[in-house]
Amino acid sequence: MELETQHQAMGYDRTATLFSPDGRLLQVEYAEKTVRLGSASMGLLCTDGVVIVADKRINDPLLIPESMMKIYEIDDNIIASTAGILSDSRILMEKAQMVAQQHRVTYDEPADVESVIREIANLKQAYTQYGGVRPFGLKVIMSGVNKDGTGKLFATDVTGNYFGAKATAIGENDDKILDFLRKEYKDNLTIDRGMKLALNIFKKVLGKNFDISRFEACYVKKDSKKIERLAGDALTKYLKND
């Protein structure tokens, strides 16, 4: 009887468009598990801008670290990072860049962060609804500074939901990172203190596997609305105690 039930359940994970009897899309749930195998990223809203810190998880000395960016520049004022299947990431990030550039060309102004993440979330949702495709095995965090100077941070899941946050994390150990953020994140964080908080959380979570050379960070300040990128040894100063 148990074997028969198992065989019946297996039939519902053949496609992303087929609901199981208890209302689940099993292929979507499998894609969520894929995301947690990806390297982690953390985003934070700060008083003077926004910041994303990401673990590139490069362990091969033959690879050139600069050739593997974990944080994408969507527009002059918007940055994003992903966790999951890297080739899926490239497709969605190029779509986001196109959406941002089309808005700039059409309206002669930068796009709002939410308008870009909404387009990405809509595309992800479509790939859970139609036959012949699989869900994107990817979560995205996107952050930036809008034209009115307000900082925004959003995250999307595999299903195509998106939500705003003060701080969030995706990828490997995201549950542990989020626990630390809930305890240690403060509304009055500056970008410098935000990067320090993020790196020290990564240090606690990774333990002996922590290596500053595998991290990169990007931030956008409210006054300049321009992206600044730091990586490797340039981040060492944020590990020092006050």
Instruction: Please determine, for residue 13, whether its predicted confidence score (pLDDT) is greater than 80.
Output: no
Can you read off the two tokens belonging to residue 61? 């000395």
Q: Tell me the residue range of the domain where 134 lies.
A: 28-230
Residue 88 lies in a domain: yes
User: Which candidate, 147, 140, 70, places its Cα nearest to that of 103?
Assistant: 147
Mean pLDDT of 208-223: 93
Residue 94 lies in a domain: yes
Backbone angles phi, psi at 179, to 5 degrees: -60, -45
pLDDT of residue 96: 97
pLDDT of residue 242: 55
The CATH code of the domain that includes 62 is 3.60.20.10
Residue 223 lies in a domain: yes
Convert the pLDDT of each residue in 20-62 to its tens digit. 888 888 888 888 889 999 999 999 999 999 999 999 987 777 8
Q: How many domains does the chain have?
A: 1
pLDDT of residue 3: 46
Instruction: Please determine, for residue 14, whether its predicted confidence score (pLDDT) is greater than 70.
Output: yes
Dist. CA 237–CA 200, nearest whole Å: 12
Mean pLDDT of 76-87: 94
